[in-house]
Structure 1
């Protein structure tokens, strides 16, 4: 190698650069993570270093994006499933011209920084999703691709406006997590061909080589799923990377896995290819060696790494993005002129899009909900049945998109129409198969697209399979809707494996998740009105398998349910004792209250369909429903009672179920577990006595 060639940073390892400046830009992108992590003593540099050439090609040659408008609807999406490599993403966002400075990168992993330790939606411009828990980004990318492909199929009319692609970068850890297997299997079955999953095949995990616990042939596994598999052999060859990624985005009827055989932390001679490269600083000497190998001064800083030549070549991506955006706008104008009905329909969806603050509720949607109200609220009926009528009504108006984990008939979310398939991407609903975890992650991807409110259904006992995805949806404030039926031991004969006990209480511990357990058909419809018109956030509907009685007529029920709790009935002033319940137990406490009232006790019955909404109601409303002066309180719910002690106080009582159920009829199991009128009345007498003597 001649001295002149060696003097160009990056030229010793980077191949296929179009100029010396591009070679230096890629070398700088490799060096930045090493320098940042060394300066802090913590962080993840290894993957960010190894994947820097690929990320450079992706952001500067392949992705359709506009750094000046991160929310441009026509953009491709990139999700970093291997979220620990956040410096990889932050570096490319900065170099591409997003509103992110080198100082922001230097501040990564510090309190209040715009560059948190793992990517977070809404914190860093250009970040499409919060990631970090492995496999979640991969699975949600599939949901995003499904939704974008449906949008294209329904609205594009071959005009090239709504045809965005989704790229995701996953590591060995992502592909070991079960959620990625579930999601990849479904993606193959549905032929999601606007998806490119890039697999960093570095064969290293924290404990050591992947072959400690991972011996499968990943390429053949994905082929068996129905994916196309491509290989990048030289992870430092920019032209090879570009060629393979360009082929990968071609629509072939299959999702594509691009396998990149990389070496973690390359070009570090001492720790590359080892588990030591996953996290932590390289060390002062080794960082200097990496810089020298790349052709930089060993004492280089971020500002000297990113010199004028680097900025000049990488900021060409800004002008490229503006040009791509302009041409897209021209196509969009033609699309609107040629297909005004499609444009109007899509615009209507955007007006009610759940990510708007707040979304609009169209007259058509209100009419659909009114129709459900007229037909379902006056006779005893299972709340799952009424909810199913709402799902069908809203889906017919194009507001919802989702499906069930192989339980649509039982959870009552079956709707007319055709399912999404490889040949029918515009389908009305998704058969998720027996994949509860992937379903929840895919719902997040649909929500990230933003055009439809996603829903998915299963039995409440199986919500535990979904917790990592629910948690991320809550972290991102996504408007995902989880439909859970068979809500208590009243499930009956299927026994304790299918009878939820701890699930409702557990779901209520997730910050930002609203858990809604309606007492009757009317509450179901009112709760949906509140959800559709409220700010973006995830909700879980918890619904009964068994019929529940219709409660007495209530005025202004929509407003009352929106506040989370309200007084259903009271005797006298209702100021001696308050009985509180959710779901099917509201009818139980109403019967109990009438018995208690026979001796003149002023009792009130409170339905609290959503604890979280009541917590956020204003104090005046909370006091009108549950005034401090009422110290005798009983809360009743057919599950663990942990949350209710906040509302009943030290002298109150909770009637709940703190042990697993049994196999038998629902009414028999409820009685065996103490969810009875006599148990409620007894608890009421106890708390009345306790408060009287206190």
Structure 2
């Protein structure tokens, strides 16, 4: 995209220093398979092979041939038997940098707590050596017996590397200045995307929908438009691209295009998205079924903790997905995702709210955003009759407001919003005045001013109801301990989606009847 003849603007390598424990984790296999499959020759992994984990020697739980594993994955594999022979280590790294079609894996045999009285002792993993053992270690190396001491040759080496780094940076900056003269548009775009400034043109192409559809389908249509204005919007799906509607048609497959096929590797997908966000210049997204977000939870948590701008597309968001049954029907996932600090969870109620969800995800720079979508078709909310879909920007909003006449207030999200509106109509035929709040995002709503939250929450209304096809525990925040929560407190069943919604009580008629009985 950016390199030109004589201007290797982006040509760096990525190095990873990994431990025994890192390679025991299953995700290491997932990502290594993909790196070998994609022939990522600019990736170099160095294994600190010291044979000791927290419980003791790694042989307690690990006996595989790691080098054969990486060889089978399509990596260039080397072994340095003495990790303190710097000449051999340097040679291995140079060999790695010469690879054209394979990522490199270097096993480097080392010792835990090298040179100390606790060398190769598992207790050195989590406890400091202490003053006496630290002094003994320095004595073993022939260093001065000072409490804080760095040998002069280390200081000299450090200074030399700083000067070399400064020179390389000056040279790159001079090259980039010349590049900017010759290729001003590319240079301006490169600087902008590394500031995570995705521009404003995407707003001009956000679709306004006129027909009802599944919100996952709407998301695919939004993606097809905004990708034209954000050239480094980049991502894919964990083997569900057609179901998640995450494939950008006409853009080709990675490594030659923008569509990444992660395979059935949700955890790997999450970690790779994080790596892309850490690198910068890329707006990464990844899709899977909502229930499978469990497989990538460590990566989601790390993105939230690290304030990485990553977009998750989680489809098939309730029992409404139908016949795939309880193994695929998410029950607890919405609540558990909402519990992760700094993760924004957005659940649109119709196609037009999907456009707003993408807008929020693109503008939000300080953390990840999960867009949660239906498999089944949902009606378009009549915005001539009810509040604008742009009110989603506030997280929750009064979709239907009866003001001071309100006797019952219903809070709902996603596909349950329209049945809640219909239940309102049924109840009002019997003289019960109902206001409906669309809770698009708990997190966005929490960030609103107190005055706005007071207006939406209507605390003066004592009859309070929440409706969502997931676990209901978090909804007590809206309805209090005495409110009525219509939710899923058991696993689903295998049947058509509309039958399941009726069976578990999420149709308008069921909602209205439950509220009447409760009143």
Alignment TM-score, normalising by the size of structure 2? 0.95
Aligned partner of 1:395 among 190, 204, 227? 227
User: Does the aligned pair in 1 maintain the 2:143–2:151 contact within 8 Å?
Assistant: no
Q: Distance in 1 between matches of 2:454 and 2:54?
A: 53
In structure 2, do the counterparts of structure 1 residues 567 and 432 end up closer, same or farther at CA, with 3 Å as the change threshold? same
User: Does the aligned pair in 2 maintain the 1:444–1:480 contact within 8 Å?
Assistant: yes
1:307-329 residue CA offsets vs partner (Å, 9 max, x unmatched): 66643431222211110100111
- 1:357-376 alignment, distance < 5 Å: 359=197, 361-363=199-201, 365-369=202-206, 372-373=207-208
Q: Report the counterpart of residue 179 of structure 2 in structure 1.
A: 335
Aligned partner of 1:287 among 131, 134, 139? 134
Q: What is the CA distance between 1:634 and its match in structure 2? A: 0.5
- 1:621-640 alignment, distance < 5 Å: 621-640=452-471
Q: What is the CA distance between 1:350 and its match in structure 2? A: 4.1
Q: Report the counterpart of residue 439 of structure 1 in structure 2.
A: 269
Q: Distance in 2 between matches of 1:467 and 1:426?
A: 29
Q: Distance in 2 between matches of 1:556 and 1:316?
A: 64
Q: Distance in 2 between matches of 1:642 and 1:653?
A: 11
Q: Report the counterpart of residue 223 of structure 1 in structure 2.
A: 71
1:18-52 residue CA offsets vs partner (Å, 9 max, x unmatched): xxxxxxxxxxxxxxxxxxxxxxxxxxxxxxxxxxx
User: Does the aligned pair in 2 maintain the 1:634–1:680 contact within 8 Å?
Assistant: no
Q: What is the CA distance between 1:624 and its match in structure 2? A: 2.2
Aligned partner of 1:262 among 110, 128, 147? 110
Aligned partner of 2:286 among 443, 456, 464? 456
203-212 or 334-343, which moves further after superposition?
334-343
Q: Which runs of 5+ in 2 are unaligned?
A: none
User: Does the aligned pair in 2 maintain the 1:481–1:539 contact within 8 Å?
Assistant: yes
Q: Distance in 2 between matches of 1:314 and 1:348?
A: 33
Q: Report the counterpart of residue 121 of structure 2 in structure 1.
A: 274
Q: Distance in 2 between matches of 1:603 and 1:469?
A: 41
Q: Distance in 2 between matches of 1:205 and 1:683?
A: 56
User: Does the aligned pair in 2 maintain the 1:634–1:683 contact within 8 Å?
Assistant: no
Q: Report the counterpart of residue 500 of structure 2 in structure 1.
A: 669
Q: Report the counterpart of residue 428 of structure 1 in structure 2.
A: 258
Higher relative contact order (CA 8 A, sep 6+): 1
Q: Report the counterpart of residue 55 of structure 1 in structure 2.
A: none
- 1:42-57 alignment, distance < 5 Å: none
Secondary structure of the 1:155 match is coil
Q: Report the counterpart of residue 471 of structure 1 in structure 2.
A: 301
Secondary structure of the 1:566 match is strand
Whether 1:165 and 2:32 are equivalent positions in the alignment is: no
Q: Distance in 1 between matches of 2:120 and 2:253?
A: 42
User: Does the aligned pair in 2 maintain the 1:529–1:558 contact within 8 Å?
Assistant: no
Q: Report the counterpart of residue 143 of structure 2 in structure 1.
A: 296
- 1:133-532 alignment, distance < 5 Å: 154-158=1-5, 159-268=7-116, 270-282=117-129, 284-298=131-145, 300-302=146-148, 305-306=149-150, 310-350=154-194, 353=196, 359=197, 361-363=199-201, 365-369=202-206, 372-373=207-208, 377-397=209-229, 398-421=231-254, 425-532=255-362
Q: What is the CA distance between 1:243 and its match in structure 2? A: 2.5
Q: What is the CA distance between 1:334 and its match in structure 2? A: 2.6
1:250-291 residue CA offsets vs partner (Å, 9 max, x unmatched): 3422111111011111112x4312322322133554333211
Alignment TM-score, normalising by the size of structure 1? 0.71
User: Does the aligned pair in 1 maintain the 2:262–2:269 contact within 8 Å?
Assistant: yes
Q: Which runs of 5+ in 1 are unaligned?
A: 1-153, 354-358, 690-694
Q: Distance in 1 between matches of 2:510 and 2:387?
A: 32
Q: What is the CA distance between 1:202 and its match in structure 2? A: 1.1
User: Does the aligned pair in 2 maintain the 1:404–1:432 contact within 8 Å?
Assistant: yes
Q: Distance in 2 between matches of 1:279 and 1:310?
A: 26
Q: What is the CA distance between 1:671 and its match in structure 2? A: 1.9
User: Does the aligned pair in 2 maintain the 1:530–1:558 contact within 8 Å?
Assistant: no
Q: Distance in 2 between matches of 1:243 and 1:420?
A: 35
Q: Distance in 1 between matches of 2:191 and 2:53?
A: 46
Secondary structure of the 1:451 match is coil
Q: Distance in 2 between matches of 1:334 and 1:232?
A: 42
Q: Distance in 1 between matches of 2:405 and 2:314?
A: 33
User: Does the aligned pair in 1 maintain the 2:253–2:261 contact within 8 Å?
Assistant: yes
Aligned partner of 1:597 among 404, 413, 428? 428
Secondary structure of the 1:396 match is coil
Whether 1:657 and 2:495 are equivalent positions in the alignment is: no
Secondary structure of the 1:531 match is helix
User: Does the aligned pair in 1 maintain the 2:81–2:108 contact within 8 Å?
Assistant: yes
User: Does the aligned pair in 2 maintain the 1:632–1:684 contact within 8 Å?
Assistant: no
Provide the alpha-carbon RMSD of the alignment.
2.0
Q: Distance in 2 between matches of 1:515 and 1:574?
A: 32
Q: What is the CA distance between 1:597 and its match in structure 2? A: 1.3
